[in-house]
Amino acid sequence: MMVSIELNSYIQKARAQGISNAAIVASLRSVGWQEPVIAEAIGTTYQPQQPSTKEPAVIYDNIDPAGGFVNRIYSYLKELALGKRRFRTALFGFLIAVFFSAYPSYVFLQNALPIAANLNEKVNKAIDEVFPEDLTITIKKGEASTNVTEPYYLTISKQTLEELFQQSHIVSQSQSKFRLISLNTTGSIEDFERQQSYAMLTKKNLVYMDDGETKIQSLSSVPDMMITRNYMHEFIEKFNKDNKIVNLATRMLYTSPAFIVLFSWMWFIVEVLTATFILWIFNTIHTTKLRYSKLFGVAGVMYVIPSFLLSSVKAIGWIQLYAWLYIVCDVIVIVLFYLFITRYRDELHEEETP
């Protein structure tokens, strides 16, 4: 087996500094050199040991088969953990949040702002279409009645829904009209499914669908009233007097990107804090005595690549891949935490060994 000139040179350089064979072997193992190669190299370059009162730290230059990249990363993390370097985890998380919130914010505003535009006019137009001028719904002492032949359906067209919500997929392509409410004061709650509408008004209850479940609201607590088309228009006008509600909603929409960024940033901080706690547990188990505040920076650095990767996948919309990748990244990061702490522990033990 041929021993490389590079390896021989390293061993000779280490021995010239008074480093023991045991320390040299340990350093070579830690960067991936195999036992047979180490043994042959130690035998080939054997020189009588000079006594030394102090054992300098092993130099890792040019002996890592991966070109020293792993050692450079480890050294950087070690300096972070010891407070010799600083990584602005919070600032980095904020920049990630801003970068990856830009597109979702744009899409959200693009879809939401048209809904708020001229909302009063669109709602009143929908009321005129849904509620016939001659229809009157009377609620008195918790009981409902109408002046039309029942069952009677309040419907809205697909076109009006699309204009109101700026969405083309609310009603299926085969539907030209959508049943909002069925008036069936002579019927019972059991008739609701057959009506195929979002809600049904019976004599004593309002039955409706909510998140896939059938809900029942009693009319016993509803004050006496007569609901007509004019009543609906007056209610909307009173509710949105001087367009205050629409203006408020528009302002909130324009500030929504700031909330999206804030939520994304807080999510990143929580993730890194959780990772720091796991790193601190490894630190406690191996008694490496590293400070929790310094480990926060180490955890932040280790989350650089996973954060970019997960945020990119989420922005693209690959939700299924995101869930799987999230677990994989967490497992990999935890393994890296363990490897970092164990290597640092081994270095401490070597320094303490006389």
Q: List the one residue out of 231, 223, 226, 337 whose CA is nearest residue 284.
A: 337
Burial, 124: exposed, middle or buried (Cβ in 10 Å; 0-12, 13-18, 19+)?
middle
Q: Give the pLDDT score at 350.
A: 75
Q: Give the pLDDT score at 207.
A: 92
pLDDT digits (tens, 9 = 90+) for 28-53: 777 777 777 777 777 754 444 444 44
Rounded to 10°, the helix 21-30/5-16 angle is 140
- Per-residue CA distances from 40 to 43, 59, 171 (Å): 5, 20, 77
The stretch 229-243 carries a mean pLDDT of: 83
pLDDT digits (tens, 9 = 90+) for 315-341: 777 777 888 888 888 899 899 899 999
Residue pair 142/222 in contact (Cβ under 8 Å)? The answer is yes
Dmax over CA atoms of the chain, in Å, equals 112
Taking residue 135's Cβ as centre, other Cβ atoms within 10 Å add up to 16
What is the distance in angstroms between the CA of the first residue and the CA of the last residue of the chain?
33
Q: Give the pLDDT score at 206.
A: 93
Measured on CA atoms in the order 328, 65, 342, 306, is the torsion positive or negative?
negative
**Residue 115: helix, strand or coil by DSSP?**
helix
Tell me the range of 117-121, 170-174, 211-215, 272-276 where mean pLDDT is highest: 272-276
The stretch 221-244 carries a mean pLDDT of: 86
Burial 213-226 (b: 16+ CB within 10 A, else e): eeeeeebeeeeeee
- Per-residue CA distances from 23 to 110, 114, 342 (Å): 63, 70, 17
Taking residue 105's Cβ as centre, other Cβ atoms within 10 Å add up to 17
Residue pair 137/227 in contact (Cβ under 8 Å)? The answer is yes
CA atoms of 280 and 295, how far apart (whole Å): 7
Domain positions in the chain: 5-66, 89-106+254-352, 132-227
